[in-house]
Amino acid sequence: MSDQKNYIQLIYRIIVGLILVWFLSTIWPYISNVILMLVFAFLFTTILLSSVDNLERKINNRGVSVLLVVILLLGSIGGFLGSFISQISKQAIDFSKRVDKETLTIEFANLVEKFTSSLPNFLKTGQSSNEDFASKLAEFTQTVLGSLASMAGAVGNFMFLATMIFIFTIILLAEYHVFRKSLVSMIPNKYFEIGLKLIFNIEKSVSSYLKGQFLSASSVAAMSIAGLIILNLAGANLTLIIFIGIIAGLSNLIPLIGPFVGMVPAILISFMNNIGNDASTAHMLFGVLPSPFFIFDIILMFLVVQQIEGNLITPTLVGKSVGLHPMLVMISLLIGGTLLGPLGMLFAVPASGIIKVIVKEVAFVRQNAQYL
Amino acid sequence: MKSAKWENIFKGWNRKESNEILTLKQVPVFKDFQYSDFRELENLMHKREYKAGDYIFKNRAPGEGMYIIVKGNVKITVGTRSKKENVFANLTDGEFFGELALFDDEPRSANAIATENTQLLGFFTQDLMTLQERNPVLGQKILFNLGGLLGERLRKTNALLVKEQTKK
């Protein structure tokens, strides 16, 4: 009789589970953006919460503390970006003063000639004639215009997301303890202590993950700065090294795309600083591969930094911070990447950390069910 | 007419203390605390309500921290209601129990049952750890006071033990 009851209960649970999965998959397209915003807002809140709490204790006003911390954060981001943009535009102005259009054209022509002459014969066979060139150029212009339009849409969408995340972060920071208490008050008395422990462990796991990510970003920044200094010793003539290092460290937090974003400013600056410099144009990587303006040296340096970070620092530092085995971190990253792309990779490790905490607590509850 | 500025400056003077703060003031673990300390504790603690006869925790249940009675009554027992139930203590407003769980991962050593509708404040290991991180001075004060109380109890238990042994 009891076996039959268990079967009915099991079937009932499976049906409820299936309905839930169907319901979630139906509404997911409508709520995914809001959930994404809330997840980001929660992450930013976790980063800023201790500063707000500390300040609140000193000035005794939560609202003002949130405002001050947010203003300070925006000020530092704005200051960093502003200073970087002003420095790079100053360099761009110097560059335009130094190089006129004609020199630039000649320089490019020389560069293309040098590069094609160094290519093996079989790679040169597919080169287009002058007649195809006009049609290819028109095609290229159309593609660029199309990309620009879609980029404008993406920028608009990004600005909307960023504004909403910013607003959610401010609200969460101001009301975090109230929200947390309301959540805790909803736990039934029977599961109260276990529920509280679960929430605390999830918070701890997320905050440790963020600390790990911060360490990982800092190590990428430090390694990039060191690498750029070494390139300078080899004659790369790079400036704004600290800025480039910080950008590389920060952008490295976004899996797949991030590391390439870090390379761009370095290549741009190397190009601007070295144009017209024959030694730099004729530079060869390891004396074999032509690497004008040290472009391939820079790319190689960033690739080495990424390999060290991806295979050594992240699995050990970040995995350790959420208590996951390096192997599990890699598997989580692969699953996250397959399911949701770069965004999935960004959230894969903290999500695995949270799942691990929940599984552990559920097992603990099952083990101690008779005492609750 | 009163100036808003002066009213603002002196607004803390006629503050009304909540029931929770008034209760916390009676607990020896929080002796010598300032009003701002009590506010911080109040923000960390969890208000819970239990009906008469509800278990707050059962013997051998995993324990996470201590409870302070704001209003009501709690009995501490071993054994079950149907079998032999030994009542160790009857606790009322301002008294606390379960503090050992703040220090170790051992399961609870007794049952705690509400004997009437009871309001409690829960203070747990996680809250103590959060407090240690946010306000280490306050965290240390609590640990020091708790240490003192446990030492006092140990001394009393030792005295009882010596008395029992000399009887034999």
pLDDT tens digits, one per residue of A25-57:
888 888 878 888 888 888 889 888 888 988 888
A107 confidence band (pLDDT: 50, 70, 90): low
How confident is the model over A166-202, as pLDDT tens digits? 999 999 999 988 888 888 889 998 888 888 888 888 8
- Percent of chain B, pLDDT > 70? 89
Which domains occur in chain B, in start order?
18-167 (2.60.120.10)
Most confident among A250-259, A271-280, B51-60 (mean pLDDT) = B51-60
A360 interfacial to chain B (CB closer than 8 Å) = no
Neighbour-count burial of A290, counting CB atoms closer than 10 A to its CB (0-12 exposed, 13-18 middle, 19+ buried): middle
**Contact between B58 and A364 using a beta-carbon 8 Å cutoff:** no
Which positions ≥6 away from A3 have C-beta within 8 Å? Answer: none
**Predicted local distance difference test score (pLDDT) of residue A348:** 81
How confident is the model over B74-110, as pLDDT tens digits? 999 987 656 677 888 899 999 999 988 888 888 888 9
Count of H-run helices and E-run strands, chain A: 12, 2
A295 confidence band (pLDDT: 50, 70, 90): confident
The shortest CB-CB distance from B60 to any of A54, A192, A371 is to A371
SS3 content of chain B, % helix, strand, coil (to 5): 45, 25, 30
B164 interfacial to chain A (CB closer than 8 Å) = no
Is residue B60 within 8 Å of B108, Cβ to Cβ? yes
Q: Which among A186, A197, A365 has a CA at the least distance from the CA of B124?
A: A197
The answer to whether residue A133 scores a pLDDT higher than 80 is no
* Among B residues 77-106, those touching chain A with beta carbons less than 8 Å apart: none
A189 interfacial to chain B (CB closer than 8 Å) = yes
**Predicted local distance difference test score (pLDDT) of residue B75:** 94
How confident is the model over A219-249, as pLDDT tens digits? 889 998 998 888 888 777 777 888 888 888 8
B64 confidence band (pLDDT: 50, 70, 90): confident
Q: Classify strands B86-91 and B118-124 as parallel, antiparallel or unpaired.
A: unpaired
**Predicted local distance difference test score (pLDDT) of residue A116:** 65
**ipTM value:** 0.78
Q: What contacts 24+ positions apart, CB below 8 Å, involve A69-74? A: A69/A173, A70/A169, A70/A170, A70/A173, A73/A48
**Predicted local distance difference test score (pLDDT) of residue B142:** 92
Mean per-residue pLDDT for B55-65? 88
Q: Of A93 and A74, which is predicted with more confidence?
A: A74
Q: Which among A338, A251, A341, A36 has a CA at the least distance from the CA of A158?
A: A36
Is residue B23 within 8 Å of B72, Cβ to Cβ? no
Spatial separation of the C-alpha atoms in residues A298 and A227, rounded to whole Å: 9
A119 confidence band (pLDDT: 50, 70, 90): low
B56 confidence band (pLDDT: 50, 70, 90): very high
DSSP bridge pairs for B113 = B55, B75
**Contact between A57 and B40 using a beta-carbon 8 Å cutoff:** yes
**Contact between A197 and B133 using a beta-carbon 8 Å cutoff:** no
